[in-house]
Structure 1
Amino acid sequence: MKKSIELSFGEAFQKAASYCAYQERCKAEVKQKLSKLELEEDFTEKIILKLEDENYINEERFCSEFVRGKLYGKSWGKQKIKAALQQKQISRDLINNLLDQIDEEDYQEILKKVVDKKKNTLDPIDNPAKKNKLINFAVSKGFEYGKVLELVNEEDRSY
């Protein structure tokens, strides 16, 4: 059985600061981490305010890194990124602002890479079922249905 050790404000702040220093975090992630520690009730909010004051937590910086990582690293589309950020309780305005800043040419290029990579794993897409499989895959990665359909139809015509 785990023994309960109550942390002082300084110790709890230090743990939270270390957690934030390791990688960018949003408020919701830090609150969740702090909820696992046995803290006095008012400590959590005070710690979060102090982390923000000392720039350990910066929602805009977190979102910017998150969008960059998921778009360029994981090849997620805007819809999947938006859903993930909403789950982390990020404001809609901030999410929309950052998604609007994504370069459309880069976005289309990433979509094309996703579609091409999946297409290489499928037999030639000469029948509608295989074409739908390709479309559904790209949509599941968070890309907009209209853009995916347009790209797949465009590539279909080019063969």
Structure 2
Amino acid sequence: MTHLAEYDALTGLLNRRAFLQKLDVYFKYAKRYDKQGTLIFIDLNKFKLINDAYGHSTGDAYLKFIAEHLVKTLRATDMIGRWGGDEFIVFIHEINAVPAQKVATKLVNSFCSSEIRIQGHTFTPSASFGLSSIEKHIQDVGQLIHGADVAMYTAKTAGTCGWEEAARK
């Protein structure tokens, strides 16, 4: 029952509720002990077109591939969740903005150079990534998520597979 309550049934990743609970615990720890961490918000580009053109079973297979790809590409210690629909969220412990930029670049490159083959169709995944790091001015998890979300939408506006970082104050 606990597994069903904490993990997304389709992808096997943490669900939104469980991710938020774990993130909140680490965030409080990080603020108290001056630790670092970076949140990456991921939104798949043009996923609706895949779902509409090829059907929900193809869309589901696509989402499963993305989840597996994230697990293979990131460290075992990184926290990965499905935020909802075609959005994913990652928290990278113990790194600040500069190394997180390298992780984001690695993710972008791995996405843009991958191919997904589903039911005779080949897709190249594309996603927009937004980064937000735990900094002095970030007071709660909501601000951290908001920063990553805004940065992701800035990247999405560019219309290509890429990433942006939250504005620093």
If the length of structure 1 is used for normalisation, what is the TM-score?
0.23
Flag the structure with larger Rg.
Answer: 1
Q: Which has the higher helix share?
A: 1
If the length of structure 2 is used for normalisation, what is the TM-score?
0.22
Q: Which has the higher strand share?
A: 2
